[in-house]
Amino acid sequence: MQRVFVKLAVLVAASAGLVVLPVRADSRAAPKGPDEDGTKPALTRIAGEGMMNSHAFGFLTELSDDIGGRVTGTPAERKAEEWGAAKMRSIGLENVHTEKYMIWRGWTRGTAEGEILAPVRHKLHVDAMGWTGSTPAGGAEGEVVTVNLFDIDKEIKSASRLKGKVALVVMRGRPSKSGIMLFAQFGDLLKAAGAAGAIAVIGGQGGGKSSGMNLTHTGILGFNADFAIPVLSMTAEDQGQLERFIERGITPRLHFNVQNTFTNGPVETANVVGEIRGREHPEEIFVVGGHLDSWDLAQGTTDNGSGTATTLGAADAIVRSGQRPRRTIRFVLFTGEEQGLDGSFAYVKQHQAELANHLGNLILDFGQGPVKGFQLGGRDDLVPVFQPFADALSSLHPMQLDDHVESGTDTLPFSMAGLPGINMNQEPSDYNLTHHTAADALEAQKPDVLAQNATLMALAAYWIADRPERFASPWPAERTARMLRAQHEYEELKAFNLWPYGDLGAEEKKDNPQN
Ligand SMILES: [Zn+2]
């Protein structure tokens, strides 16, 4: 959900480069890959099923066409849960069930209409950001004033000037702080604008501007954050015209009619779970998944129908291969990802008692492109362990490895638990244009790429669960906190009240940035 963080961070300041760690020579035996650890025959059968008998694109077609957009907590998302559980049963997974939890508040999109009244008159292409409010019935009109995101403290202080106006977010000059902090503080600006009586705010996630031809980009504006003021994503073409008028000293006048609905209180949702039980250590668990929920401007194919279909396709390939791993592979379709990783945070909380028996998780949530690497979620110790397996995949695609923590998807709660929250890194392809937009439909996913991604997920899951030695155990909190600080996650987690470690790991921060 927070891909915008990455974009903003690049825009705002040079962010810390990823460290690809060298394999250290030490006294331990060299880690073994599939050729030496006995897993190769099973992996070969799984690869055959995955590549030559793939059902992943069929799963994605059903989810996209028959269910479509599925915002967490809505009837469509409930239908997706039932569909996901039914698919898991038909694939032949064991222990299929849903695990319910609540999100703080539900939201349903209504209509969003916009028009420029002066100096010219035409329709504006807008959509509401998720969990934002409505204009009065029939709409409201007012003049446009710009607010500079890069001078956010001053803008919040002078928010009273926004009364009766439409606030257009711009980025001018040099930013006063990091992209993450701007994203976090954007919520304060929205609250101040709402309290001042502004009609609406034009700005996407973190205040960002839309990209792509005639596309709006919806999304949430914080972790579990809602705002009473309407916040609108506008196409780059329409927004560009407004900006050009303002630069020429012309003040545009706009009319908006935006109607959305919040629930009065929390709403129920559920993660969907199914397993392939381990043959030797069924109590030891490796979690594999993607998120089932989506936004609602289109079918939610690439975000994250692709991850859902990859997960189900991986499960299908393993079951059909007839192979049973030493340890349990637990397939989880998370919901609530788009609202703040709510499903994966709920999972970690609900399974606290058995987290010590977990080996980590593996997530695909970067859309439709080919997998090109694995990010091991903070666990630099596992890079050399994983390397021989990654090398074994090189005939499918060269694989890059690093220990980067991906905080924008359901890997984060696992990394925060000291486990490897492994992100399958993908070619960016057209994902920046399809996710959260009206272009997120089945046309965006190539079936052969999906089949290959599902196969890679199946192979990685099976190898991790089946290799003779246990792949990973959770790190203690102190070591995890130190790692998260070294990976520059502290600032973001603290800003969103998600940092649970207090001062743990702080003293190491400056001395040794790598670990
Ligand atoms: Zn996603």
Average pLDDT, the chain: 93
Mean pLDDT, residues 13-30 taken together:
49
CA–centroid distance, 491 to ligand 1, in Å, is 22
Mean pLDDT, residues 11-18 taken together:
38
Nearest Cα to Cα of residue 333 among 131, 97, 130, 103: 97
CA–centroid distance, 87 to ligand 1, in Å, is 20
CA–centroid distance, 289 to ligand 1, in Å, is 12
CA–centroid distance, 435 to ligand 1, in Å, is 8
CA–centroid distance, 341 to ligand 1, in Å, is 9
Whether the model clears a pTM of 0.85, i.e. scores above it, the answer is: yes
Cβ(435)–Cβ(293) below 8 Å: no
Mean pLDDT, residues 458-466 taken together:
98
239's enclosing H/E stretch is helix 236-247
- Residues with Cβ < 8 Å from 340, sequence gap 6 or more? 1, 220, 222, 223, 224, 225, 496
Nearest Cα to Cα of residue 480 among 515, 441, 436: 515
- Output the pLDDT for position 70: 98
CA–centroid distance, 306 to ligand 1, in Å, is 9
CA–centroid distance, 164 to ligand 1, in Å, is 35
CA–centroid distance, 338 to ligand 1, in Å, is 7
- Output the pLDDT for position 285: 98
CA–centroid distance, 294 to ligand 1, in Å, is 7
- Output the pLDDT for position 2: 47
Nearest Cα to Cα of residue 191 among 151, 219, 231: 231
**Residue percentage of the chain with pLDDT more than 90:** 90
CA–centroid distance, 310 to ligand 1, in Å, is 13
- Output the pLDDT for position 357: 98
CA–centroid distance, 174 to ligand 1, in Å, is 30
- Give the pLDDT band (50/70/90) at residue 510: low
- Output the pLDDT for position 239: 98
CA–centroid distance, 3 to ligand 1, in Å, is 9
CA–CA distance, 62 with 71 (Å, rounded to integer)? 17
- For the chain, the residue count is 515
What is the DSSP code string of 151-194?
GHHHHHHTGGGGTTSEEEEE--SS-SS-HHHHHHHHHHHHHHHH
- Output the pLDDT for position 28: 60
CA–centroid distance, 393 to ligand 1, in Å, is 25
